[in-house]
């Protein structure tokens, strides 16, 4: 594994004409990230992983500071996985000025997480633009836990970059909760509490697949979760293709954002 601390050096020394898979991460690696890396290793000749806690996608400074960081542990995990390249860039190299730190998104896309996390996806798209300007990978691997993120990245890079997005299934704990770097900020009891939300949403999703009319009970479900002293930010059914509200039994997906002790978690089914 070759470690690069400069994106310019990486661009000069890596042959991007080869079949290279790119897995962008913010570190605090877990089984979800490992699944993305394994998918890349199966599909591509070489695999590049980045670790960069992107400041422009945090709408709260405190959230950025509290985001879990475990670089030594992450490097050990990546060495064990035998990836080819690791990029750990510096902020001032990724963003040479503040103008580069945000990409505007359409008003119609300011839904779900984009509605409640002002500037979040604008920051995500900005870092993806900076990465793909230098990293000419054939594929980029992203997890479906961040479903809206994948949708917006695909929309943004279309006709701008040749890199193709590979969407990978959400990897979950035995209790159904999706793996997330933010889980490291939760206690065991809080993990159990969070998993309860996932189980409720999963059960509701399958009941709606059987009887689509059950979707009318979404507000009742929200109240049920909140009765357990869990703050629900949003709970919505959306079209899984374009995230519109034009849904039917064959194309709906349920999205939720909720808080466990001030830690924001998301899920979808």
* 33 counts as catalytic: yes
Residue 134: predicted pLDDT: 94
Rounded mean pLDDT of 146-158? 97
- Residue 145, in any domain of the structure: yes
Rounded mean pLDDT of 139-165? 97
Q: How many domains does the chain have?
A: 2
Residue 196: predicted pLDDT: 97
Same domain, 130 and 249: no
Rounded mean pLDDT of 76-94? 97
User: Residue 85 and residue 98: Cα distance in Å, rounded?
Assistant: 28
Domain membership of residue 244 as a residue range: 181-268
Residue 264: predicted pLDDT: 97
Rounded mean pLDDT of 237-246? 98
Return the CATH number at 198. Answer: 3.30.1300.10
174: Cα within 13 Å, side-chain hemisphere: 0
How would residue 60 be classed by pLDDT, with cut points 50, 70 and 90?
A: confident
Same domain, 248 and 134: no
User: Residue 30 and residue 157: Cα distance in Å, rounded?
Assistant: 26
Query: Do the beta carbons of residue 124 and residue 245 sit within 8 Å?
Result: no
- Residue 9, in any domain of the structure: yes
pLDDT digits (tens, 9 = 90+) for 11-41: 999 999 999 999 999 999 999 999 999 999 9
Residue 76: predicted pLDDT: 98
Last residue of a domain, one of 112, 136, 168: 168
For 81-129, where are the E strands, in sequence order? 85-87
Return the CATH number at 96. Answer: 3.40.50.620
Residue 99: predicted pLDDT: 86
State the average pLDDT for the chain. Answer: 96
Residue 2: predicted pLDDT: 98
Q: Give the residues across from 172 on adjacent strands.
A: 178
Same domain, 15 and 138: yes
- For the cut 90, the answer to whether the pLDDT of residue 59 exceeds it is no
Same domain, 160 and 217: no
Residue with the two structure tokens 């949003």: 234
Residue 98: predicted pLDDT: 83
User: Residue 32 and residue 173: Cα distance in Å, rounded?
Assistant: 10
Same domain, 11 and 113: yes
- Residue 76, in any domain of the structure: yes
User: Residue 236 and residue 112: Cα distance in Å, rounded?
Assistant: 8
- pTM to 2 decimal places: 0.95
pLDDT digits (tens, 9 = 90+) for 93-129: 999 888 889 999 999 999 999 999 999 999 999 999 9
Same domain, 149 and 231: no
- Residue 176, in any domain of the structure: no
- Residue 173, in any domain of the structure: no
How would residue 200 be classed by pLDDT, with cut points 50, 70 and 90?
A: very high
Query: Do the beta carbons of residue 249 and residue 178 sit within 8 Å?
Result: no
- Counting Cβ atoms within 10 Å, is residue 23 exposed (0-12), middle (13-18) or buried (19+)? buried
Straight-line distance from the first to the last Cα atom of the chain, in angstroms, rounded to the nearest whole number: 36
Same domain, 84 and 206: no
CA proximity to 175, closest of 196, 155, 161? 196
Residue 203: predicted pLDDT: 98
**Per annotation, catalytic residue among 30, 33, 120, 179:** 33
Same domain, 154 and 194: no
- Residue 175, in any domain of the structure: no
Q: Which of 96-105, 139-148, 240-249 has the lowest mean pLDDT?
A: 96-105
Same domain, 207 and 157: no
Same domain, 17 and 149: yes
Rounded mean pLDDT of 208-217? 97
User: Residue 11 and residue 29: Cα distance in Å, rounded?
Assistant: 24
User: Residue 54 and residue 146: Cα distance in Å, rounded?
Assistant: 16
In 10 A of CB 220, how many CB atoms? 10
């Amino acid at each position: 594994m070759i470690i690069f601390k400069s994106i310019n050096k990486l661009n000069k020394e890596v042959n991007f004409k080869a079949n290279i898979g790119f897995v962008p991460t913010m570190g605090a690696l877990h089984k979800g990230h490992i699944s993305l890396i394994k998918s890349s290793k199966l599909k591509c000749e070489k695999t590049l992983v980045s670790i960069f806690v992107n400041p422009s996608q945090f709408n709260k400074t405190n959230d950025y500071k509290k985001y879990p960081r475990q670089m030594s542990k992450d490097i050990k995990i990546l060495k064990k996985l035998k990836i080819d390249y690791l990029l750990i860039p510096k902020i001032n190299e990724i963003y040479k000025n503040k103008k580069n730190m945000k990409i505007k998104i359409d008003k119609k896309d300011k839904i779900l997480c984009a509605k409640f996390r002002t500037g979040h996806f604008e920051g995500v798209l900005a870092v993806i633009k900076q990465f793909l300007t230098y990293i000419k990978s054939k594929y980029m691997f992203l997890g479906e836990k961040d479903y809206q993120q994948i949708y917006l990245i695909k929309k943004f890079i279309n006709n701008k970059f040749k890199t193709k997005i590979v969407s990978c299934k959400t990897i979950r704990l035995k209790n159904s909760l999706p793996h997330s770097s933010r889980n490291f900020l939760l206690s065991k009891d809080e993990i159990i509490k969070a998993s309860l939300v996932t189980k409720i949403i999963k059960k509701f999703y399958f009941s709606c697949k059987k009887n689509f009319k059950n979707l009318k009970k979404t507000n009742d479900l929200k109240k049920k979760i909140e009765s357990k002293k869990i703050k629900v930010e949003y709970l919505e059914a959306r079209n899984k293709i374009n995230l519109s509200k034009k849904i039917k039994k064959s194309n709906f997906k349920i999205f939720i954002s909720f808080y466990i002790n001030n830690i924001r978690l998301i899920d979808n089914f």
